[in-house]
Structure 1
Amino acid sequence: MLPLFLVLLGLAGHARSESVQKDPLAMIGFHEGTRRFAECAGGGTLVGVEVGFVEDAWSFGEPFIGSVRLLCSSKKVSVEYLGDQDDTYVFGRLNLKTVRKAECEGSGGVAGFKWRAAAIKNPDGAEMRQAGLVVLCNRAGNAPVEVALEHAPATSRTYPKSFTCKQATQYAGLDSPKLTKMLMWFNRKSFAALEPLECA
């Protein structure tokens, strides 16, 4: 008979595995490198993201997002296999010089994102990196506030892709659903993708 702590550990691992196996609600980026389930720890809410830009990639005509931090109201993020970490944890390349941050006010949390792919200069070796990300912050009874994260200010940008929790059938009836769980894809060279999994 297995010791109780091993049984409980197995149940916890099974529950986490089920969460990871859920179909993502959207995909920002592409599958490459390590995949990790992530959510804000300690009952915290995702209140924003911080991104770093890679500026020296020969395949692209503009800088692209090479790192992502998940900003949590609890200041802690739970990362699969690593447990609870400070929300300074970086998914992707470390120590990028140009960093942009969007943090939602209040407790409304992140309603979703808009994004655009980076312009490709040399198709050989280029993947689907993201050059711009818009964070959608919930406002009770109103449309979300949009905060754009770009390497350099621009008078006008178009973001052809978008995701909000309201778009998902299971959350459409909620007043201001916010993103709670996600999959992160990354390696030492760069962030690759964020896949929303659950809202609340």
Structure 2
Amino acid sequence: MIAFTSAIVSTVIGTFTAYALYKFNFRGKKAFQSLLNLPIITPDIVIGIGLLLFYVMINFTLGYYSVLFAHITFNIAYTTLIVSTRFHYIDVNLENAAIDLGAKPFLAFRYAIVPAIMPGIIAAILIAFTLSWDDFIVSFFTSGVGTTTLPVRVYSMIKMGVNPQINAISTITLIVSLILIIIALKLQKSKIAT
């Protein structure tokens, strides 16, 4: 549930962020893009400890929502980056043409831009789901009592020794992750027919 929800929410936020970076020029745009890439280059342990300290500072109860917000936080950077690459393949006049033909700006975005960047959106969802599903370190630091993600559960099972359940879970996780990443890469490379 955490992986699915964080993938959807972070992709929606990432898509609108990528669109804003594509459409608008504003003061501090380069600094904002650099700030956006911070979760990609920052080690997971720093993100996990930083979010834990932030949750403690604001007295936020650790549990389902703390893990969900943490996963959304680091996934936004990846989804924005993936969706942004799709904007390089679309014609800059596509949205203007839709508006010239009578579409309101939101409808021009929905019916002209979104179909053109849809492979990037789907790729972002798949990558965000995979990153969230496989994440251990951030989940370990931000999960509370009663909230256990699959990697944290496997870690707690491994303390007792390796058993066939862990082998099966690891194999399934590896296969599903590889399939999702291959699908995402195929979608990301697909060209837009204009």
Short-chain TM bin: under 0.3
When Rg is computed on C-alpha atoms for both structures, the one with the higher figure is 2
| TM-score (normalised: structure 1) | 0.21
Query: Whose strand fraction is larger, Structure 1's or Structure 2's?
Result: 1
Higher relative contact order (CA 8 A, sep 6+): 2
